[in-house]
Structure 1
């Protein structure tokens, strides 16, 4: 009977990367015989309906989508505009408690046609959901879409303040050697540099909203029923052990969730895309030689200056490699991401440039040999899962610590300096695609892929831990 199933309400932070990761996890729960209600904001749901095959959002038996308002008003003709991340984050904290409470009450109504809600899966940075689940006496499991190392770094922000390390003394600390200061006392993160901690520490303002909120959110997680990190045991053991020692709820490493979803028999094609995917890029990749294509995608939030865009473009052009480049319409600050005619002519015969693509399929394609990335955790996990080495240019949040670990701990990344220079871009692409260091990185990337696949395959460590958290927390 459908009404006898456990019912999980899944609420991601409403940005593309967090939505993707939560949807993969929801797929895994659905496979484990859960009834799923996946909650989008009204804005994102309308935008996704315009961009996707409607079947992708139609749901499945015992898997349905629901919406709540995010508290921000946009005219209908502005629906394709990306929302400001900080404004959105603050708005959902202020405005989503009552709509979420009302939604769960509706779902629990016997007339709803589904089972009563048995647990809520919240993004780890939507801790306001605790007010609702505490009132309803249902478990609230936090699903963390950022990296374990990024989360751990945020947990120690207050101690960094108490030790007078942050806020920065002046803007000069951004360009002198101060950010190279080694922080040697955070457990699980030996000899991390200040520049490798989440980007929100780079402020001179002690009242900075994101600086304080990151710390508050990680500490509020102590009231969660459990915390799940999108990783696998072999990759993040020291950091997961450190998190387990400081967080009150049980911690589970279950991932990579994109692989979990992939290994589900007859897995579904449910997607929530805020940009329309261009599947023609797969046909183009099919025509290329194995390992010959360099893939470039800065994710859903990174914003480049016009000069940075041009420097990346000339670096790609001068590398002489074939490449697939995703250039969102809002990739460049204040203008549309269009290549100058002289660059477009230079790269015409050896490139595919598009607004958005099915990234997991692209990274898994045998033609792809390298990836220039912003180091978002979804992108890092998908690249590791595909065995593809990376060139790293972190932008915001946990991307700085992710870059550090990809390059220094796991040996599968090379970092581009913050000041983008076409010569450096060209040199690093050639080194990754053709050089000796690139060959070593590819070897290590394939080793990590084997471990990721082992963890995420049915019966692997991540599925075992998913069964544990279901039994020990979700159904308790």
Structure 2
């Protein structure tokens, strides 16, 4: 049974500093974790970068963070090391990873020290940093604090990262030359990796291995995160559940025994009614979505299209998707971020007259409440980039997927969704309007494959709910984590 922090002496109130990587897909689960810890009596400080804090205020207004400190959940900011910009877009991932590792350790140390001098705020006792902000583990350890890493990818994706070092040592990476990207080399089978599905290929590993440069920024940083940062942490958190990724988790725990599965981090763990004004959305959500879905007469008739918070496409790709969606005849809700089209300029990112052509059966918005959309009775399929948040939210809602992975471990998630979990169909990276139309018709139709995917999605929905229910595997692991950091807080203050 987890120790309740509220039952501890006031001087030992655990204070957890949460440091997400500054991208939407990482901030989302961290805010869920913040609410879950706060609901259990912890004092929580959530760290945004100055860039993302500005985006949050612009999208949500001051109310998004106002009054949090009085409730024992406060927000702080640190610089990210990149030049100041007021663009409502995710910064360059490569530059951001390099800058945060170089510049942020000193800022984290200063923040911990400053919080320790702040009246009415208990001293920080534990740091939970994003796996992509692993430098914070070493800062915390130097300051005598407990330190954990929350890797926000899937377990299978994290297992892929954990094997980057072996891929280098065995000569698979870096690629010998540019021909390896197109000559079939990516189809090389890798049957020696414990915990991975048997038919895994080089192309199914996070895309940061796809380089000819041994000193590539993302390759080397990911190796450091897994070989240096993760072993130095007191434990690892993953937003998944045991039934879903048992084999991968067994392999991870063989290397990192104190690994906690606490997912899906959704409403069951941190209800939307709990601190409802606190939100992680860095874009303003369009409030038309639910009303539009309510107006759809048939359950499971709408295909939801969202390529996540980072994916960028060309205007040509947008045109092909638009034409394919229109021809498929299913009603669709399509999220098109303001920064999603790489070469759109001032032009509309879809063909002229498209909005009129699909009037009544197609809605395009800049951003939405994805959980509300996926959980709506009208939503029957999800055309997704296979980011982990989207994948696990789709599984939790029981919605099958069309998989169009873009980069990183999205390709790993796609392979598992299609081959292991039975809920997805992969769409080619260069899919044109014909392929989009055919894929949507297959997903939303009455064929045997679509029916099988819907059955499997319903099964995973049930298993996900069990994992976070009282006595479920993820609920027990969350309780174990809470107990562990509460006890560490008590011993550090004695």
TM class, shorter-chain normalised? over 0.9
Distance 1:473 1:34, change over 3 A: closer
Show the counterpart of 1:246.
255
Q: CA deviation at 1:329?
A: 1.1
1: CA distance, partners of 2:186 / 2:156? 18
Q: How many residues align?
A: 472
1:299 aligns with 2:304: no
Residue of structure 1 equivalent to 2:174: 167
Distance 1:263 1:30, change over 3 A: same
Match of 1:137 in 2: 144
Structure 1: which 5+ residue stretches go unaligned?
Answer: none
The 1:81/1:470 distance shift into structure 2, 3 A limit, reads: closer
**Alpha-carbon displacement from aligned partner over 1:155-204 (angstroms, at most 9, x marks no partner):** 11121122222222222222222111110011000331111000111112
Q: Are the aligned partners of 1:325 and 1:354 in contact in 2 as well (CA < 8 Å)?
A: yes
| Superposed displacement of residue 474, structure 1 | 5.1
Equivalent residue, structure 1, for 2:87 = 79
For 1:65-214, list aligned pairs within 5 A: 65-75=75-85, 78-109=86-117, 111-189=118-196, 190-214=198-222
Q: Indicate conservation of the 8 Å contact 2:36/2:270, yes or no.
A: no
TM-score by length of 1: 0.95
2:65 touches 2:277 (CA, 8 Å); kept in 1?
no
Aligned to 2:292: 284
SS in 2 for 1:446: helix
Q: Equivalents in 2 of 1:433, 1:51: separation in Å?
A: 33
Equivalent residue for 1:6? 14
Partner Cα distance (2:50, 2:371) in 1 = 26
Query: C-alpha separation between the residues in 2 aligned to 1:421 and 1:264?
Result: 38
How far apart are residue 36 of structure 1 and its match?
0.6
Answer yes or no: is the 8 Å Cα contact 1:6–1:34 preserved in 2: yes
Instruction: After TM superposition, list the pairs within 5 Å mapping 1:12-31 onto structure 2.
Output: 12-31=20-39
User: Structure 2 vs 1, CA of residues 445 and 305 (structure 1 numbering), >3 Å: closer, same or farther?
Assistant: same
Structure 1: distance between partners of 2:387 and 2:457: 17
Q: Deviations over 1:27-69 (max 9, x none)?
A: 1111111111000011111111110143222226111111111
**Quick one: distance in 2 between partners of 1:264 and 1:318?**
37
Correspondent of 2:59 among 31, 51, 54: 51
Matched, 1:311 2:296: no
1:303-357 alpha-carbon deviations (Å, 9 max, x no partner): 1122222111111111011000000111111335621213333222211101100
User: Deviation above 3 Å: which 4+ runs of structure 1?
Assistant: 1-4, 259-269
Q: Tell me if structure 2 keeps the 8 A contact 1:124–1:144.
A: yes
Establish whether residue 389 from structure 1 lines up as the match of residue 414 from structure 2.
no
Deviation track 1:363-395 (CA, whole Å, cap 9, x = no partner) reads: 111110000110000000111110000000111
